[in-house]
Amino acid sequence: MFQLIQNIFYKISYTYSHIRNRVYNTLKENRFSFIFEIGVALSAAVGVLFIVVFFGMKLDLFTVRGSIDQRNQFFKDASSESLTKDDSVKAISEMQFSLKDGIKSARKKVFPDTSFAWADSEEWKVLAAALTKDRETIRKAAYDAGISPRVLVGVVIAEQLRFFTSDRESFKKFFEPLKILGTMSEFSLGVSGVKQDTAEVIEKNLKDKTSSYYIGPQYEHLLDLPPGEETNNGTSSVRFLRLTDSKDHYYSYLYTALFAREVIEQWKKAGYDLSYRPEIVATIFNLGFGKSVPKDNPKVAGAIVTVGGETYTFGRLAYEFYYSGELIEIFGF
């Protein structure tokens, strides 16, 4: 693969040099020759950039590397088979009962060894306000996909906190004063960073009855594209516009929710219930369908995010939000 890339660069370099010499010799007496040379150089540079980006994506060179979260006992338990549905229900019940004394008091009582540092950050205040504005859209997307809105929000929160902390200048200029979500529009799209090829797989899973991700006939047409768009694998303009619409995030949420639902279904068919494992669902969302391998001992992992003075994995952020009590009046368990 790298030899192929090297050969392509050699060909580009040779072609550029050949064209440049011929054109320059022809126009050397012409006062526009210098401008023309600059134009040719810029065109070659764009071509090189395109090739680097293309092969970088194919070789997964732009993927943010993650880690496995095993830094304290709370998350060691969360990442092992010892955390059962009953454990989750118990934690939820304890939080709900303790919330009468306030969110922070409830957290200290139920999770005394966890800081929830992200919940005191500037980024979270902005994100909470933006998610509150989007509450009806989030609820609808979660309902349409058949999952808990809190599981969906956990994934979105992890991606948005990563986005906010990676681009502090934009956060301070736009997202903080306007209290809005960041909508990605390059390699990863929308409010949760869904890639076009991932979106295409989500669509296919809805219709493929033989797939372990298939969730039922009632969901098959949720993401239908207009006639003719189905053949544009990975390049659908409709799909792109759905995911990058900064005024209406419904489809961005829906693709995310359906990804989660399809993964939950895959694990359910293999004998594992992820309905109460938001940290595993978020981890798989961050790492991709290829990392979704049902097993007894899934790990909390994903991209690294530093927020509120503490470093988290993608999965851990989703997990902490789920049990934190934050926005519980809007997105219940």
Do 323 and 95 touch, CB atoms closer than 8 A? yes
pLDDT in tens, the chain (333 residues): 544 444 454 445 445 455 555 555 554 455 555 555 555 555 555 444 444 444 444 444 444 445 555 434 444 444 444 467 788 888 899 999 999 899 999 999 999 999 999 999 999 999 999 999 999 999 999 999 999 999 999 999 999 998 888 764 554 444 455 445 655 545 567 888 999 899 999 999 999 999 999 999 999 999 998 876 654 454 578 888 999 898 999 999 999 999 999 999 999 999 999 988 999 999 999 999 999 999 988 999 999 999 999 999 999 999 999 999 999 999 998
DSSP string, 266-317: HHHHTT---TT-HHHHHHHHHH-GGG----SS-----BEEEETTEEEEHHHH
- 142 vs 173, 212, 227, 264, 278, CA distance in Å? 31, 21, 26, 13, 14
pLDDT tens-digit readout, 245-285: 989 999 999 999 999 999 999 999 999 999 889 999 999 99
Amino acid at 284: I
d(CA 112, CA 103): 13
Domain extent listing, the chain: 2-58, 73-324
Do 279 and 319 touch, CB atoms closer than 8 A? yes
Q: What is the pLDDT of residue 79?
A: 42
DSSP 190: E
Q: What is the pLDDT of residue 50?
A: 44
